[in-house]
Chains A and B, each alone.
Chain A
Amino acid sequence: MRFAVTDEAAALRDAADALLTARATTALVRSAWERGQHSDVREVWRGLADAGLTGALVPEAAGGLGLDENALAPALQRVGYSALPAPAVETIAVAAPLLAAAGHPALSDVLRGSALITAHLGVAAGRRQPVPYLEIADYVLLRDDDDLLRLHARGEVDAEPVRAVDGARQLARLRAEPAGGTVLATGVGAAWQRGVLGTSAMLVGLAERMLSMTVEYVASRRQFGVPVGSFQAIKHRLADAYVAIEFARPAVLAAGWAQAAAADAGEQTSVAKVLASDAATAVAAAALQCHGAIGYTTEYDLHLFAKRAWALAASWGSSSWHRRRLAAVLGLTREEGEPHG
């Protein structure tokens, strides 16, 4: 028994951390709200690819790092902390290992950082939801009615932009089901679980960022002649925010381990998503409240992280959806419908 991030996972996280700290600024996140303004994000993405992130789950023989799911959470938590507007979960956690397994030629561009892949695995044709980053992605991975995961070049897909709460998500809705595409896998299975895991890790990182911004703010903001952070009402709210994060984070790491070890991974992954989604939305609410009116503006940066957290909390199965899934597993209710994501 050893519950600690592996050395390889820590090295990858630290490499991502150095790059994102230097270059994934909130100005960069803001720039991605504009359509067609994505070249700076792509430059940072190429840096992450150089550090090995896009090939984390790709075998060494195929040019990747050959790591397992244990490496996903620490690195993607750090990506979440930066709110980098890119389909990181979809490209790194979901698509890259499928491309490697299928021997698809797009893999080399993914490893170089020149191809972004988004994904929509949750519901099949006919009940599509808007797809994140579809406006900027080079490929999209879709689940079809026969439960096949098909990779489409973006040019094959007819879609219209959808205005989103988080403008950096660059949402678009399919106008029609695309023809063709390359089948990469049958069934959502492990790829979907990796998407849920990666999203949970991003949510923990977003929550950490919002808490850290708020701690800094309440220590400097003065009212009644003292820092507002000296009031118990603020302290208790932020202590609760920290509790939520600190009990979600290990659950997300454990889900990564369970996926790598193929041990109760479905249950552990739903546990992780429930805790991470609920932590991130609770921390967003606490952060907004403790900032007061300044947080309720788009000039201040907090909204960049809160809006991302709301989007990801609702994606890949909301906390309520995963609780209902577990209720069925525990024999409390009948089986839930098809997965979200």
Chain B
Amino acid sequence: MDLTWSAEEEAFRQEARAWLGAHVPASPLPSGDTSTGFAAHLAWERALFEARWSVVSWPKRFGGRDASLWEWLIFEEEYYRAGAPQRVTQNGIFLLAPTIFEFGSAEQQERILPRMAAAQDLWAQGWSEPGAGSDLAAISSRAVRDEDAGGWRLSGQKTWTTRGAFCTHLFGLFRTDQAAERHRGLTYFLVDLRAPGVEVRGFERLDGDEGFAEVFFDGAFVPDRDVLGEVGRGWSVAMATTGSERGLTLRSPGRFVTAADRLVQLARQRGAPGGLAERVVQSWIEARAYQLFTLEQVTDVVAGHKPGARSSLNKLYWSELDVRLHETAMELLGADSEVDGPWSRGYQFSLAGPIYAGTNEIQRNIIAERVLGLPRA
């Protein structure tokens, strides 16, 4: 056990802290889930990229710093501590990129990753469909072979696509073999949302921001070079991404440690009568529990183990601690909680956590069946 940082890691932290301190906008940007806010966030992403902070853990040749997973954790801690803007690029850099590193050809990596790092291409995730949510393998959007054109023609619909109305590209699963068993016959495509035959319609989330979109495909063409992994192997390629999504890379502990510290500040300012002080402390404890769990997990990952189904533990814990934390904040605010502001926004967004990235009901099934070994229904 050694829970201290090395001198190099501390130096990395100081460098990140100094840069963020000098560059984080003094007043919060408008929500990145609106068209004006998204533009402001893009400018921020490009500033991050120029200073090589947009994708610290990536190789230098793709715009990163070759930072270790430990340094990535440190950067995240500093990022949230500094109150820096939400990452509107997160679905590309945290969800798609790990899959491209694992399954992408050298040509795909060279072509896609630097533009993603620079926020030139903005990626949305295309998993869910009107008829396929938790039951992801039920997707019916199709890709039909166009041999003459050297690619595929997409048809069907994706939905709940986060920031789809503002993104330029989408990664998603489409059925390429109607006859195959449902988990087979799927292929992972990288799609240009500006191509003919693609139509995107944004719509409001619970909080009133236009953060959702539905995406309609009507013969949109995708060239062969934009198939990620093998044709027909899309399910296993996608599962690599869902591991990242549920686990560490989507929600690092820094986010919750900072949120818990702010909750403590709020309680100090407003008072925490009755049992509220204990609830505040409980959230503070849970944020630390997630941090310590993560340190153990990263030690394992660095030693060469894959989190696998255990990434569902991360998803369950961070999403539910976030709900409890914000519920406590609402209690502290009392009648002020109905005013539209950072805490009431945070509360509404926390309620999405147990739904996105695989509902918590699905995560519990995964823990029970794949970790505890309980019999399948």
Contact = CB atoms under 8 A, between A and B. Distances in A.
B285 A1 contact: no
B267 A332 contact: yes
A239 interface: yes
A327 B281 contact: yes
A235 interface: yes
Contacts of A234: 368, 374
Say whether chain B's binding surface is mostly helix, strand, loop, or mixed: helix
B289 A247 contact: yes
A327 B375 contact: no
A230 B376 CA distance: 5
B293 A247 contact: yes
A6 B277 contact: no
B280 A1 contact: no
Interface in B2-44: 2-6, 9
Contacts of A274: 282, 285
Interface residues on A, range: 35 or more
Contacts, number: 153
Secondary structure of the A contact surface, majority rule: helix
B277 A1 contact: no
A2 interface: yes
B212 interface: no
A300 interface: no
A229 interface: yes
Given A247-B290, A247-B317, A324-B278, A229 B285 contact: no
B1 A251 contact: no
Interface string B302-328: 010000000001001100000000000
Contact of B9 (A1, A227, A243, A260): A1
B240 interface: no
Given A229-B375, A323-B282, A332-B264, A248 B289 contact: yes
Interface string A215-257: 1001100000011011110111011101100111011011011
A330 B281 contact: yes
Given A243-B313, A254-B295, 4 more contacts: A229-B375, A232-B361, A251-B289, A274-B282
A-B pairs with lowest CB-CB distance, top 9? A235-B368, A239-B364, A239-B367, A3-B295, A229-B374, A250-B292, A327-B277, A3-B296, A236-B364
Interface of B: 1-6, 9, 70, 264, 267-268, 272, 277-278, 280-282, 284-286, 288-290, 292-293, 295-296, 298-299, 303, 313, 316-317, 361, 363-365, 367-369, 371-377
28 contacts: A1-B5, A70-B1, A215-B372, A229-B374, A229-B375, A230-B374, A232-B361, A234-B374, A240-B364, A242-B372, A247-B286, A247-B290, A250-B296, A254-B295, A256-B1, A257-B2, A260-B1, A263-B3, A271-B285, A275-B289, A320-B278, A323-B278, A324-B277, A326-B284, A330-B280, A330-B281, A331-B264, A333-B272
